[in-house]
Amino acid sequence: MNKGIKLNTLPQELVNQIAAGEVIERPASVVKELMDNSIDAQATKIEIKIVNGGIDLIEVSDNGNGIPQENLPSIFKTHTTSKISSFEDLNNLLTMGFRGEALSTILSVANVNLISKYVDSDIANEIVFKDFDNHTVKKAARESGTVVSVRNIFENIPARRKFLKSAQTEYKKILDTLYPYFLIYPNISFVVWKDSKKVIDLRNIPNAKADIVEKERIESLMKEDFVKRMVKLFYDGGGIKVKGLVGHPSDHQKRISNQYIFVNRRPVWDNGIARAILSGYERYIPFGEKVPFIVLIDINPDLIDVNVHPRKEEIRFLNPFRAYSAVEEAVKKAITGVTSFKMDTPMINIQRDGKIYTPRDISFKSNQSGSVRDSLLFSKEVFSDTGYVKSIASEKSEIEFKDEEQGIRNIFQIFNKYIVIEFDSDILWIVDQHAAAERITFEKLKKSNGDSIEKQNLLVPYTVQFSESELIVLREMKEFFSEFGIEYTVTDTGIEISSTPVEFVNTDFKKFFDEIFALSEDISNLSKEINKLKEDILATMACHGSVRSGQYLHREEMMDIYKKLIVCENPYSCPHGRPAVWKLKLSDIDMNFERTY
């Protein structure tokens, strides 16, 4: 028995402070809650003031609908929200993050002051808290919307205050919190003040909609060159919509940066989704490389659980693989649509030289430099921030554009390994002959329907020995390989190859099949996994059935590789993701010699 132990009801402020640990961890969490509220209030302009990393002051001011005077005290009470009106709403609203506890929690850990003018009222009001339970409401001057000032966070909770990092770090975390809003609300203008200096000023983009990323906004925010070349995503199926922008394959990078994922407008991080995005780039970018992306997923709220994380930075998909495959497919579709060298197609997203140009870029640039082709041949520096065309292009007509050999001044081989191509347009390509040939064969195999493959029958069958378990697989895969031009019969000890695609004249088939077997962890699964492994098998075939490094090439052979490469869907890398072409501009070479003329 608990003799004489007095039970205490915890004061509400203390209850809130305890709960605050989850919701309000640091100044950035306050910023997030205030931003959400301003956006919910339909604001089109939001100003954020940060002093001393938000430790001294966080102020968010909006031009939204405002708060009726009679509601002012109650919005600071726990679980008070104007956003949940009926029980049916509850599930949806919770997933959107409305719990009616942000303001009351913030109030329990900081000094809060709020001024608001409700749209339907003529006057503004201010609520000032002396302490958690004592407030006054009085008339104030404000034209529209709401401003919330949060001062001296955690001042009353030293244990939490102690855990704050330096002002600079807290400020950085605030920016990390703000960026996602900037990205997906191009319809809202944002201004950020840091210690009374204006550091970010983003105008709203006319006619832009929330939740649709606009390149213009991203450019003014990130100031990065790759943004221009980002590719639009679109996917809609199985209750999942995927949209946003992903980096052009030529803009792969080592760093994990500029990567954003949103689910139902909430910024989240999900490793599975990030992996799925990269899977969409498989064979388009070198292995292990990253790309910038802003991916927005819209999914029925019933199919996710956001409450796994108190600040909702993570989510759980009821069926993660559905989400992953939707994302992967969206990315694949988007990038195969742009990585095409096709030259005589309409000028929609034509790209060459690893860069993508929109019709607007082209016409704008061609006016200045004279030629579409030249514009296309220059790499990213051409479209510098200033819009200034740095390189001087010579006069060329669009007709020449169709003839691949035109414009090539020189083509030769070095080290029996690389093809060097010098273009009239002051561009130099160094092509890895094997990687390029592999890419060409790979795409040819991928497109082939069996009869399109040029086969040669061997006069004397080529015999290769294999183990029993390998022979089982070879028997199962006979039809598959036959479709790609490799015909064989299986004997007790090996196979007898009777026909191969022409490219396979010098192939070491023992090595070739060993590599195929190595594709599966368990060789006995190989034929079951054939669909999954198909691209890998074709890549292996391409590797064996292509011009090798160390092989001498005649001019015609080099031209042939060049011509076939530029019509590939993805000419930038071999099917394993190694680069196939290295492009240099004369100006790059000049720069290396510090030559300025």
3-class DSSP assignment, residue 164: coil
Stretch that binds Mg ion, among 33-41, 234-242, 361-369, 533-541 (CB under 5 A): 33-41
CB closer to ligand ADP, 61 vs 340: 61
**Binding residues with Mg ion: total (CB under 5 A):** 3
Binding interface with ligand ADP (CB under 6 A): 33, 37-38, 41, 62, 64-67, 75, 80-83, 98-103, 146
Question: Which residue is listed with tokens 């927005």?
Answer: 296
Q: Are 438 and 574 in contact (CB under 8 A)?
A: yes
Q: Is 246 in the site for Mg ion (CB under 5 A)?
A: no
Stretch that binds Mg ion, among 34-42, 355-363, 475-483, 539-547 (CB under 5 A): 34-42
Q: How many residues does the chain have?
A: 597
In the complex, what is the shortest distance from the CB of residue 102 to Mg ion, in angstroms, rounded to a whole number?
Answer: 4
82 binds, among ligand ADP, Mg ion, none (CB under 5 to 8 A by kind): ligand ADP
Taking CB positions, which residue lies at the least distance from Mg ion?
102
Sites for Mg ion among residues 247-286 (CB under 5 A): none
Give kind and range of the element (H or E) at residue 172: helix 167-184
Stretch that binds Mg ion, among 97-105, 190-198, 362-370, 385-393 (CB under 5 A): 97-105
CB closer to Mg ion, 33 vs 361: 33
Give kind and range of the element (H or E) at residue 330: helix 320-338
Task: Quote the CA–CA distance of 152 and 27 in Å, as a whole number.
Answer: 10
In the complex, what is the shortest distance from the CB of residue 263 to Mg ion, in angstroms, rounded to a whole number?
Answer: 18
In the complex, what is the shortest distance from the CB of residue 189 to Mg ion, in angstroms, rounded to a whole number?
Answer: 21
In the complex, what is the shortest distance from the CB of residue 100 to Mg ion, in angstroms, rounded to a whole number?
Answer: 7
Stretch that binds Mg ion, among 100-108, 245-253, 293-301, 389-397 (CB under 5 A): 100-108
CB closer to ligand ADP, 177 vs 250: 177
Q: How far is CA 412 from CA 211, 306, 402, 416, in A?
A: 51, 59, 22, 10
CB closer to Mg ion, 115 vs 218: 115
Looking at 72, 102, 178, 445, which residue binds Mg ion (CB under 5 A)?
Answer: 102
Taking CB positions, which residue lies at the least distance from ligand ADP?
81
Distance of CA 374 to the CA centre of its chain: 29
Task: Quote the CA–CA distance of 300 and 309 in Å, as a whole number.
Answer: 19
CB closer to ligand ADP, 241 vs 312: 312
Task: Quote the CA–CA distance of 51 and 46 in Å, as a whole number.
Answer: 17
Q: Are 391 and 426 in contact (CB under 8 A)?
A: yes
In the complex, what is the shortest distance from the CB of residue 95 to ligand ADP, in angstroms, rounded to a whole number?
Answer: 12
63 binds, among Mg ion, ligand ADP, none (CB under 5 to 8 A by kind): none
Looking at 37, 38, 111, 349, which residue binds Mg ion (CB under 5 A)?
Answer: 37
Task: Quote the CA–CA distance of 564 and 199 in Å, as a whole number.
Answer: 49
Q: Are 248 and 265 in contact (CB under 8 A)?
A: no
CB closer to Mg ion, 80 vs 187: 80
487 binds, among Mg ion, ligand ADP, none (CB under 5 to 8 A by kind): none
Stretch that binds Mg ion, among 22-30, 70-78, 98-106, 230-238 (CB under 5 A): 98-106
Task: Quote the CA–CA distance of 593 and 597 in Å, as a whole number.
Answer: 11
3-state secondary structure 224-290: CHHHHHCEEEEEEECCEEEEEEECCHHHCECCCCCEEEEECCEEECCHHHHHHHHHHCCCCCCCCCE
Query: Bridge-partner residues for 411, per DSSP?
Result: 421
75 binds, among Mg ion, ligand ADP, none (CB under 5 to 8 A by kind): ligand ADP
Task: Quote the CA–CA distance of 546 and 523 in Å, as a whole number.
Answer: 25
Beta-sheet pairing, 293-299 with 316-317: unpaired
CB closer to Mg ion, 37 vs 520: 37
In the complex, what is the shortest distance from the CB of residue 72 to ligand ADP, in angstroms, rounded to a whole number?
Answer: 9
CB closer to ligand ADP, 65 vs 125: 65
Extract the runs of DSSP E, i.e. beta strands, from 394-545: 408-414, 418-423, 427-432, 455-465, 487-490, 494-501
CB closer to ligand ADP, 65 vs 570: 65
CB closer to Mg ion, 312 vs 576: 312
Task: Quote the CA–CA distance of 272 and 90 in Å, as a whole number.
Answer: 28
Site of interaction with Mg ion (CB under 5 A): 36-37, 102
